[in-house]
């Protein structure tokens, strides 16, 4: 069976920045172990836990951001599949906006740094093509929503 992890692509909008596409910043956390890779908040599903509960729990544990501080965006869910040490892993990402863009991020011991980054910098930090594709899909989803307003 594949390892399963769930998390959130968390973003914030900086209202004062123009143009609108440039006002979106994504949260990435840098692991304090291994290759020190950058990842959105996510983690392994506990036995009996449902996927969205895992995503919310991990985001609270790893970034100090709770459900009450997030607005989950409708219609966005991405699944990544990759191998970790020869075993298949599935990662589900929902998309959520930080309601108050000034809210502080609080890291756990699992991460040593965090960054709020616009799309291109976020893709560069993320490194992996599948995670870059997920960030780009999030940006397209948000821009399409902005166009409708
Ligand atoms: N000391 C130590 N301890 C570790 C290590 N490793 C884990 N721990 C412990 O596990 C706990 C974490 O538990 P959770 O928070 O529940 O799980 P996750 O959030 O799922 O975290 P992981 O780090 O397990 O999983 P990934 O982020 O998936 O990284 C795994 C590998 O996959 C690659 N990779 C990463 N992202 C992408 C991607 O988007 N796309 C692609 N294609 N590839 C990607 C990259 O090569 C990476 O090396 C920590 O507390 C540690 O105790 C380690 O190396 N040394």
**For the complex shown, is ipTM > 0.85?**
yes
Q: Which residues line ligand 1 (CB under 6 A)?
A: 5, 31, 33-35, 37, 39, 42-44, 80, 82, 84, 89, 110, 128, 130-131
Beta bridge partners of 30: 38, 113
- Closest residue CA from atom 49 of ligand 1: 110
Give me ligand 1 centre to Cα 33, in Å.
8
Tens digit of each residue's pLDDT, the chain (149 residues): 889 999 999 999 987 655 555 699 999 999 999 999 999 999 999 999 999 999 999 999 999 999 999 999 999 999 999 999 999 999 999 999 999 999 999 999 999 999 999 999 999 999 999 999 999 999 999 999 877 77
pLDDT at 16: 60
Range 3-147: architecture per CATH: Alpha-Beta Complex (3.90)
**What's this model's pTM, rounded to 2 decimal places?**
0.93
Q: CA-CA distance, 149 to 144, in Å (whole number)?
A: 9
List all residues 6 or more positions away from 13 whose beta carbon is below 8 Å from its beta carbon.
Answer: 23, 24, 25, 97, 101
Nearest partner of 105 among 65, 61, 66, judged by Cα: 65
List all residues 6 or more positions away from 118 whose beta carbon is below 8 Å from its beta carbon.
Answer: 22, 24, 25, 26
pLDDT at 19: 54
């Amino acid at each position: 069976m594949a390892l399963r992890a769930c998390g959130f692509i968390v973003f914030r909008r900086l209202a004062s920045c123009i143009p609108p596409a440039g006002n979106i910043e994504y949260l990435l956390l840098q692991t304090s172990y291994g290759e020190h890779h950058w990842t959105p908040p996510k983690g392994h599903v506990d036995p009996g836990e449902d996927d969205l509960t895992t995503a919310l729990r991990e985001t609270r544990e790893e970034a100090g951001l709770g459900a009450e501080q997030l607005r989950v965006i409708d219609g966005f869910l991405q699944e990544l599949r990759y191998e970790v040490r020869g075993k298949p892993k599935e990662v589900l990402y929902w998309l959520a906006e930080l309601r108050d863009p000034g809210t502080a991020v609080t890291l756990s011991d699992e991460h040593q740094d965090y960054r709020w980054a616009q799309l291109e910098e976020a893709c560069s930090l993320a490194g992996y093509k599948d995670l870059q594709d997920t960030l780009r899909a999030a940006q397209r989803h948000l821009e399409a929503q902005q166009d409708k307003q």
